[in-house]
Structure 1
Amino acid sequence: MMTSQGDRPGVHMAAEIAEQPAVLAGLLDRRSDIAGVADAIAKRPPRFALLAARGSSDHAALYAKYLIEVLLGLPAGLVSPSTVTLYGAQPDLRDVLLITVSQSGGSPDLVEFTASARERGALTVAVSNTPSSPLHGAAELAVDIGAGTEKAVAATKTYSATLLSLYLLIDAVRGGKGADAEGIGELAQQALDGSVDSVQRAVDRYRFVNRVITAGRGYSYATALESALKLAETSYLAARAYSGADLLHGPVAAIDEETAVLAVTSRGKGGGAMGDVLDAVSSRGADVVAVGSAAADVPADVRIALPETAEELSPILEILPAQRVALGLSLARGVDPDNPRGLNKVTKTR
């Protein structure tokens, strides 16, 4: 996607970040549509669940993996589409739930994998922002995240809307009505409004950094992955994401005074497990930005505190200031995040 002549750099990404509270509130109002899909799943209880996705949607799928395993008590895994599309594997998927997550719904490998899984007995569900997409046609059931057209190459509102859609779907499968998500639009607005100054401090502090590590545990590991992707694709930073547990199993040795660490620390079991990680990176001289509802309580050089919500919903709020940090760093480094080099809005792989 090329930025239109006369558009300021980053104007689309900034606008779409700001749209998210309204998008999330609107999605919550349409939860009955998602409940219908969940009811169809509940009537065909799966043995286990698989998730297929690429890019930002893959991070949303990882979030859904945690939801399925914790809230539904089902084994869940992320598939490798190339086992089918390149190697011609034909796994037995009877009584398996396959959720394919794709903002565009147009990646050939995801469409082919979904169609193949349906033929081989899986109950297939497409979660996408494009109801007219090939993916919706390939799947038996579909969830429209309804985020509206996204002009910036970097996914922002489609990512957070996908997270909420997946939460509402999985919560409804267990008989929930999304009660913990009530007011999520207002909380998202608070998260954006309340983090302006701390986001700017992070941008000012890290505009010249070249190496960033992002880390989170549990549900928030998805936030760490998505934050690293946003920093890499908008600011061309060497950003690497780790589970906090994996970071301590070796990679922490590479952290020093030249390393910036974005640590996702929300209240709950995942955020509580980040204590050893923060101690380890701080002891090595890393400069730490803490993002989350527990940010005020941890050792960090910059704290981006967010409203508290149920732990399984915290990634929806955590990603908002991280998106703005990526936007701010991109502009400060002279890059147009609406038109990153070598990228297109829809990436087609096989």
Structure 2
Amino acid sequence: MSEANPGQSMRAEIDEQPRIFADLLAGTDIAAVAATIAQRKPRFALLAARGSSDHAALYAKYLIEVLLQLPTGLVSPSTTTLYGAQPDLSDVLLLTVSQSGGSPDLIEVTDSARRRGATTVAITNTPGSTLNSTAELAVDIRAGQEQAVAATKTYSATLLALYLLIDAVRGGTGQDAAALPDLARRTLDESSDAVAEAVHRYRFAGRLVTTARGYSLATALEAALKLAETSYLPARAYSGADLLHGPVAAVDAETAVLAVSGEGKGGAAMRDVLDAVRERGADVCTLGSGPAAAHHIPVPACAEELAPVLEILPVQRLALRLAVARGGDPDRPRGLSKVTRTR
């Protein structure tokens, strides 16, 4: 990458996403994994992940609880890696989400869960990874090698792979996702001017709050991470409900608020949140296909449970352009590497 063209890799990888979605939709391996899960009829599900993958796991939590009606929890890896907890996981489904498949704590959690009776599934972008060989089953998100440190195409591909897996477990065919490649192209094309305006507004922002409800909470969390790691912008993400339970008191005219509000129940539940932050004088930008503020980044409408796959695309463009405008290189954020090894 040339220093004269900062963000070159991130830009190219953002633009790849419509094609990656089409490749995922054309694949057949997810159906076989889903059939095994459905046959075993797990009594509840657990999700293990770190970083951006943790936000994808939260999205999967909503999918599993709503579409499969299974109670679902997010694993705290340190209960296994640091404290040695060994609960009985018979008849439990464990999905471990890791783009690299190389995080030692997630490998240890998956190995431990498999030995204690769980059906273990690795969701990765690295078919030959240690995580894939540790888990009983594996799903390849098929995004191809990612050069930029900030995850873009691997994050959205993970979301879509998780949707297709969970939809297939309930007997679906992924039909609602068929239009996503075209909708992704529209999203990238139609949001460009609004993203440019957001860059202009936030270039000198001192702090940012991102917020959403329902499925889109994953988008708010990922947006805060992307903006913090590429632009070094202090950003905090809140569920809209949690924001109203106290943190809204810190919102004022010096606060930028990025509110994700799509169509459906989650977006409708954001109306009170938008009213509250407006009343406190915040600089509000909405993103999505639902309730809109004066400054709005549009996203085409789709099934509510698929909206996060599209919503994240203009967020990634915003992170890229804002980082460059603030004098950074989002391909090489300071102090970060592609694989973070924790235990």
TM-score by length of 2: 0.99
Aligned partners of 1:266 and 1:291 also within 8 Å: yes
Q: How far apart, CA to CA, are the structure 2 residues paired with 1:193 and 1:98?
A: 37
Q: 2:335 aligns with which of 342, 345, 348?
A: 342
Inter-partner Cα distance in structure 2 for 1:47 and 1:211 = 42
CA distances 1:10-53 after superposition (whole Å, capped 9, x unpaired): 001111111111111111111x2101100010110101000000
Q: Deviations over 1:77-125 (max 9, x none)?
A: 0000111111111111000000000000000000000000000000000
The Cα of 1:301 is off from its aligned counterpart by 3.8
Partner Cα separation in structure 2 for residue 104 and residue 346 of structure 1: 7
Equivalent position to 1:51, from 47, 54, 68: 47
Of residues 262, 274, 279, the one that matches 1:266 is 262
Matched, 1:313 2:306: yes
Any residues of structure 2 matched to 1:244-255 within 5 Å, and which? 244-255=240-251
Q: Whole-Å Cα distance in 1 between the matches of residues 129 and 5 of structure 2?
A: 30
Q: Is the 8 A contact 1:199 1:324 kept in 2?
A: yes
SS of 1:126's partner is: strand
- State how far apart, in whole Å, the 1-side matches of 2:127 and 2:263 are: 35
**Match among 121, 125, 130 for residue 125 of structure 1:** 121
Q: What's the counterpart of residue 18 of structure 1?
A: 15
Quick one: percent identity of the two aligned structures?
A: 71
Counterpart of 1:224 in structure 2 is: 220
Equivalent residue for 2:297? 304
CA RMSD of aligned residues (A): 0.8
Separation (CA, whole Å) in 1 of partners of 2:9 and 2:267: 32
- Asked if structure 2 preserves the Cα contact closer than 8 Å seen for 1:67 and 1:312, the reply is yes
- Does residue 166 in structure 1 map to residue 162 in structure 2? yes
Contact 1:25 1:183 in 2 (8 A): no
Which residue does 1:142 correspond to in 2?
Answer: 138
From 187, 190, 194, give the equivalent of 1:194: 190
Q: Which runs of 5+ in 1 are unaligned?
A: none
SS of the aligned residue for 2:168 comes to helix
CA contact (8 A) 1:265 1:274 kept: yes
Q: Which consecutive aligned stretches of 4+ in structure 1 deviate over 3 angstroms post-superposition?
A: 4-7
Q: Equivalent residue of 1:103, what SS?
A: coil
> CA separation in 2, counterparts of 1:238 and 1:112?
32
How much does 1:305 deviate? 1.1
Distance 2:39 2:4 in 1: 50
Q: Which sections of structure 2, spanning at least 5 residues, go unmatched? A: none
Please say if 1:285 is aligned against 2:278.
no
Report the equivalent of 1:103: 99
Aligned residues between the structures = 343
Alignment partner of 1:215 is 2:206:
no
Shift of residue 8 of structure 1?
1.5
Change (3 A) 1:224 1:33: same
Q: SS of the counterpart of 1:127?
A: strand
Question: Quick one: distance in 2 between partners of 1:218 and 1:59?
Answer: 13
Partner of 1:28: 25
**2:50 pairs with 1:42:** no
SS for the counterpart of 1:192 is: helix
Of 60, 73, 80, which aligns to 1:77?
73
Q: Secondary structure at the match of 1:270?
A: helix
Normalising to structure 1: TM-score of the pair? 0.97
Q: Note the alpha carbon deviations across 1:306-329, whole angstroms, 9 max, x for none.
A: 110000000000000011111111
Conserved 8 A contact 1:207-1:333 = yes
CA distance in 2, matches of 1:338, 1:54: 20
Whole-angstrom CA distance in 1 between matches of 2:278 and 2:6: 35
SS, match of residue 61 in structure 1: helix
Distance, in Å, in 2 between the alignment partners of 1:61 and 1:189 is: 25
Matched to 2:157, the amino acid is: A
Q: Distance in 1 between matches of 2:86 and 2:3?
A: 51
